[in-house]
Amino acid sequence: MQLDPDRLLPSDPATRRVARRLYEQVAELPIISPHGHVNPALLLDNQPFTDPAELFIAHDHYVTRLMHAAGLPLAELGLPDRTSAAPVASPRAAWRTFCAHWYLFAGTASGYWLQTVLVDLFGLKDDLCAENADALFDAIQAALDTDEFLPRALFERSRIEVLATTDDPMDDLAYHDALAADPTFRARVIPTFRPDAYLDPLANGWSDRLAALAEWHGSEPASYDGYIEALAARRRYFVEHGAVSADHAVVQPLTLELSKPEASALFSRARGGELSEEEARTFSAHMLLEMARMSVEDGLVMTIHPGVFRNHSSDTLRRFGPDTGHDIPVSTSFVRGLRPLLERFGTNPDFHLVLFSVDEAAFSREIAPLAGFYPSVYIGAPWWFLDAPDAVLRFRAAVTETAGFYRGAGFVDDTRAFLSIPVRHDMSRRLDSAFLARLVREGRLELAAAERIAVDLVTTLPRKVFKL
């Protein structure tokens, strides 16, 4: 395996030279990661990574889903079967399976990220295959057993300035507090308020979560007013502990404004388990608008990640749990669903709304036009199924002609795979350099402007949009 120093840059020599110049300006800039899923305990405890399979396979559903599609049972990849129907492969056996099927990742974003990490971080030179699996396992394990590969050392090596995690509203945020109080840890690791399971009456455990929320707040579990006040109080708790955003992963970005009596009546019926699916969607849509109202009041940036059918495979969910590769994109509509929210808050200077999508057409059809009018709306980066090189370039072309560069929110890595954070941000910087270089070569942008934009996309915009 080798890494081309000009990877992802244009193939035309003259355009490549411009892209290389732009990339060199931003390659070493610090990483601002305002949306991700790394556990803060990883950095506080600073314990060695267990083994190569745990690091590269077990928690990366980009990896496991593609091998599962090739007919490999998840238990053979090291994922524990909750039903004990299948024995769990040992880390070395799971790694052997991964190496034997390395060819599956050719041309994929996952393959690009993995290859970059394996070559750049671990110094591997040979392609992964069944024959060298054990030798590569041992080489990676030897590195993981050194201080240079402890999480904090890798964090500092990656030049991460800000890392946002994703957290349950009732989390005490003790890990974040401990990191913030540690004088030897200079970066910011900040929580993100993720209230989905508290807003959707159809979510598993909704009633239990509301009871815990009410108990913490000292309000009556049956009180709609107490429910709203408790959510607002938990948001303030997150703000006090460093949070800058509240994240919402909904199937559709639907908002509705109900009167207090209407909302209270639905809340009471939801607690009794009496709501129809349509009524539950109505209540959730009202609560999404309530979250926007609270963002205006407490300053948390509102991000919406819609358009995913979660846990599509019931059997996989039962046996292996969520986040194991069977979340599937669905088409998404923003314009009508968000109109009630934008009618109230779209021009409010204190409100920032970042819209993400895995429906590629939505970027040019809806998100860019919305961000091109409403001062509160910002364009989220391509994520999940769209965070691949060609999709990122299509995204950049789709939104720039309508909204320009300065209605974007910067790049997000949206990953649980800790080692891929710098790789993903580097990919984005290379692709933006390539896009800007083409505009320069076509006479559509001055080089000086391209140089300024390249830097702003990496640092200025995420700091501004996420109020860092």
The H-or-E segment that residue 428 falls in is helix 420-441
Q: Are 429 and 165 in contact (CB under 8 A)?
A: no
Share of the chain above pLDDT 70, in %: 100
Q: Say which CATH class 152-465 falls into.
A: alpha beta
Nearest to 217 by CA among 200, 198, 203: 198
Task: Scan for tokens 């305002």, then name that residue.
Answer: 34
CA pair distance 113, 33, nearest whole angstrom: 17
CA pair distance 172, 175, nearest whole angstrom: 8
Q: In one letter, which amino acid is 218?
A: G
CA pair distance 121, 143, nearest whole angstrom: 10
Q: In one letter, which amino acid is 32?
A: I
Helix (H, G, I), strand (E, B) or coil at 397: helix
Residue 176's pLDDT is 98
Helix (H, G, I), strand (E, B) or coil at 433: helix
pLDDT at 152 over 90: yes
Q: What is the pLDDT of residues 388-437, one digit of tens each?
A: 999 999 999 999 999 999 999 999 999 988 999 999 999 999 999 999 99
Residue 18's pLDDT is 98
CA pair distance 19, 77, nearest whole angstrom: 39
pLDDT-based confidence at residue 225 (cuts at 50, 70, 90): very high
pLDDT at 79 over 90: yes
Residue 167's pLDDT is 97
pLDDT at 69 over 90: yes
- Average pLDDT value for residue range 213-230: 96
What is the chain's mean pLDDT, rounded?
Answer: 96
Q: How many CB atoms lie within 10 A of CB 399?
A: 22
Q: At what angle do helices 260-271 and 224-240 cross, to 10 degrees?
A: 90
- Average pLDDT value for residue range 181-196: 96
Q: Is there a shared CATH topology between the 49-148 domain and the 152-465 domain? A: no
Half-sphere exposure at residue 215, Cβ-oriented, CA atoms within 13 angstroms: 7
Residue 348's pLDDT is 97
Task: Scan for tokens 């559903």, then name that residue.
Answer: 61
pLDDT: which is higher, 416 or 288: 288
CA pair distance 238, 168, nearest whole angstrom: 10
Nearest to 316 by CA among 80, 105, 104, 88: 80
Q: What is the pLDDT of residues 305-351, one digit of tens each?
A: 999 999 999 999 999 999 899 999 999 999 999 999 999 999 999 99
Q: How many CB atoms lie within 10 A of CB 212?
A: 17
pTM (predicted TM-score): 0.96
Beta-bridged to residue 164, according to DSSP, are: 190
Provide the residue ranges of all domains of the chain, joining segments of one domain with +. 49-148, 152-465
Question: In 22-129, at which residue ranges do the beta strands (DSSP E only) sit?
Answer: 31-33
CA pair distance 83, 74, nearest whole angstrom: 13
Q: Is the dihedral of CA 345, 348, 352, 357 positive or negative?
A: positive
By the 10 Å C-beta count (0-12 exposed, 13-18 middle, 19+ buried), 232 is classed as middle
pLDDT at 59 over 90: no
pLDDT-based confidence at residue 251 (cuts at 50, 70, 90): very high
Residue 398's pLDDT is 96
Alpha-carbon distances of 274 from 201, 256, 280, 285, 452, rounded to whole Å = 10, 20, 10, 18, 56
Residue 227's pLDDT is 98
Strand 308-309 to 328-329 pairing: antiparallel
- Average pLDDT value for residue range 263-287: 96
Looking at 145-195, list the stretches that DSSP marks H as alpha helix, in order from N- to C-terminal side. Answer: 151-157, 174-181
Helix (H, G, I), strand (E, B) or coil at 197: helix
Nearest to 354 by CA among 340, 338, 343, 365: 338
Look up the CATH architecture of domain 49-148.
Orthogonal Bundle (1.10)
CA pair distance 422, 158, nearest whole angstrom: 6
- Name the DSSP class of 167: B
pLDDT-based confidence at residue 1 (cuts at 50, 70, 90): confident
- Average pLDDT value for residue range 339-365: 97
Structure tokens at 219: 């309000």
CA pair distance 435, 19, nearest whole angstrom: 8
pLDDT at 182 over 90: yes
